[in-house]
Amino acid sequence: MKEVLRISTMAAMFLLLILLLPVAPAAAQAGDPPDKSIDISGSGTCGASGFFRFAKDVGSDYKNFFSKETAIWYGAGLAGAGLIHIADDDIREGLLDSVDPESAALKVGNVYGNLAFQFPLALGWWAAGHAFGSTQAAEAGRDLLRAQINAASWTYVFKYTVRRERPNGEPRSFPSGHVSATFATAMVLQEHYGWKVGVPFFLGAGYTAFVRINDDKHWASDVVFGAAVGLASARTVTLHLRKHKVTLVPFAVPGGGGIALLQRN
C-alpha cells in the first residue's frame, strides 16, 4: 500500500506540472514575478491575517450551505440514493469482487479517494500555483482545500447521524467519504478550468466509486449520495466564480475604437 501511495503521489505531482507549466511563461511575460509564498487569503496577503481570512471563508462556506442550489444537489442526491437503495443488494452481488480487490489498479482507486491523498493534493495545487506564479492555479488550490474541508465535515455529520452499516459489517457507511472527496475535487477543477480538466477528474471520481463498491466498503446508494455531497460542497466554495459576470463594452477613441472587458459584481 505504501508503494501504491508513493506512485499515486508522484502521478499527482506530475499532473500538476503538466497543467501548470503552460501558465508560468504567461505570468513571466506579464511582468509578474512568481510569488513563492502561500497566500492563505487569496487577496495577496500572507501570514496571520491571511489565515483568519481563509478561516472566515471556510465559515462562510458553511453558511452558504443553506442555499437553493445546495438544496437541489442534496435533494437530487437523496432521490438518487433512494432509488438505487432498492437495488443495493443486486448491485453488490453484481460488482462484488468483479475485479480482484488486491489488484494495484483498485488499490490506486482507494488511495486516490482517501483524505490523506486529497488534502495534500489540494495543498500541493495551491503551493504549485504560487511557485509558478499562476493566480488561477493558486485560487483553484485554495478552493480545493475549502471543498475538502466542507465535504469531509458534512460527510461525517451524515455518517454519525445515519449510522448505516457497511456491506462488510463495518460502521458508518452512508455516505462514502472517498466519493465525496473525489467528486468535490472534480467539480472545483471543472469550475476553474472547464471540462478539459474536469472530465479526467470526474472519471477518476467515478472509478473510485466503483472501487468502493467492488471492495465491499459501500453500498451503491452510499456512493450516489457521497457524490452529491462532494458536488454540493464544490459548488458552494466556488460561488465567487459565478458572482462575477464579464461584459463586452465597445468604446471610441480618436482615430478608432475597441472593446473592453468589464467585470460586474
Q: Hey, what's the cell of 88?
A: 443495493
Q: Hey, what's the cell of 82?
A: 433512494
Q: Hey, what's the cell of 139?
A: 485560487
Low-confidence ranges of the chain (pLDDT < 70): 1-50, 97, 101, 244-265
Instruction: Give the pTM.
Output: 0.76
Distances (CA, A) of 74 to 37, 86, 104, 155, 227: 37, 19, 33, 12, 10
Q: CB neighbours (10 Å) of residue 214?
A: 21
Tens of pLDDT along 206-239?
999 999 999 999 999 999 999 999 999 999 999 9
> Percent helix, strand and coil across the chain, each rounded to 5?
70, 5, 25
Write the single-letter amino acid at 241.
L
Instruction: Specify the 3-state DSSP secondary structure of 96.
Output: coil
pLDDT at residue 86, as a whole number: 96
pLDDT at residue 48, as a whole number: 57
Give Dmax over CA atoms of the chain in angstroms. Answer: 77
pLDDT at residue 106, as a whole number: 82
Q: Which domains does the chain have, with CATH numbers?
A: 2-13+57-241 (1.20.144)
pLDDT at residue 255, as a whole number: 52
pLDDT at residue 248, as a whole number: 42
